[in-house]
Amino acid sequence: MARQRKPKGRPVSGWLILDKPVDFGSTEAVSKIKWLFKAQKAGHAGTLDPLASGMLPIALGDATKTVPYVMEGRKIYEFTVTWGEERATDDLEGDVTESSDKRPARADIEALLEKYTGVIEQVPPQFSAIKIDGARAYDLAREGETVEIPTREVEIHRLTLIGCPDENSADFEVECGKGTYVRALARDMGRDLGCFGHISALRRPFVAPFSEDMLVPLSELTALEDIEDDSERFAALEEFLVDTSEALTSLPHVPVTDEQARRLKLGNPIILRGAHAPVEEPEAYASVGGRLVAIGEIAQGQFRPRRVFG
């Protein structure tokens, strides 16, 4: 029997709610955080473009098992649309593909907001991570190909015009669901207004269930690289971590005893007793003493684990 390879790195777990700086890719950010913490595993919950700043939740260790729950959460973006130019990337990076001397009146912008609220059809940008016949759309776009990207349904819970600093731009805030491209929103509004448009500034201050006060600037983390003692440096870094269970606050919670936790970690169901014990739930999480134990289903008065945590 082949010997199982020991994972490289430390078995650290939890969420880091990074305030990603501009000109720093999401994959690059994950790699940097994984290296700083010397973590065995790391992943993020929702890509942010390099030109965007703001909340990039990064999961370390066992917290990577909870990434899908954060991916489903609502997001808030603050963004500026510059009118008069449509660009290949729908932001500042791309070449100008369309232009217009027309500029929209504030009333015309406000009249358009309702069209982009609710469940809408959206075509993702040519420069996006959508897969077309197995290839990423942005790779095909960089090779000069224009591809047909199918429309998708996305949900816009709220779209607000914050202000118009001048006739050439407008500031917005949008609260939206999974899969929404803010760059496509700017592109489509520009087309509807007959003036074209592209994103010139973009920030994400919120990804449910995490709050803005959890944000950690990258500079605060990299400043700790100067601490020579490993244990002291790792202890200081871990002060910034949010418990893994914070990603699951949308699910019902089942407190368990130490003995029940032991059974769950072995993959065994436990019986839930008491007048207020839930009987049926498609998904819930169990914890003991504030520590996450398992995610599973509640059926016929039992908690049945699907994923367990160390």
| Residues 284-310 pLDDT 10s | 999 998 899 999 999 988 999 999 997
Same domain, 87 and 199: yes
Same domain, 270 and 234: no
Same domain, 59 and 89: no
Residue 273: per-residue pLDDT: 85
Q: Is the pLDDT of residue 2 over 80?
A: no
Helix axes 230-238, 26-37, angle to 10 degrees: 130
Average pLDDT for 42-51: 92
Assign 133 a pLDDT band (cuts: 50, 70, 90): low
Residue 71: per-residue pLDDT: 94
Q: Catalytic residues, which ones?
A: 49
Q: Which residue has the higher pLDDT, 130 or 79?
A: 79
Total structural domains in the chain? 3
Question: 266 is in which domain, residue-wise?
Answer: 251-308
Same domain, 270 and 158: no
Nearest to 296 by CA among 276, 269, 273: 269
Listed range (147-151, 219-223, 229-233, 258-262) with the worst mean pLDDT? 147-151
Residue 277: per-residue pLDDT: 78
Bridge-based pairing of strands 118-122 and 152-166 is antiparallel
Give the Cβ contact number of residue 153 at 10 Å. Answer: 10
Residue 4 lies in a domain: no
pTM beyond cutoff 0.75: yes
Assign 134 a pLDDT band (cuts: 50, 70, 90): low
Beta strands in the chain (DSSP E): 14-20, 42-44, 53-60, 75-83, 85-87, 96-99, 118-122, 131-132, 135-136, 152-166, 169-176, 197-207, 216-217, 253-255, 270-271, 281-288, 291-299, 302-308
Assign 140 a pLDDT band (cuts: 50, 70, 90): low
Assign 1 a pLDDT band (cuts: 50, 70, 90): very low
Q: Is the pLDDT of residue 278 over 80?
A: no
Residue 3 lies in a domain: no
Residue 150: per-residue pLDDT: 83
Average pLDDT for 220-235: 96
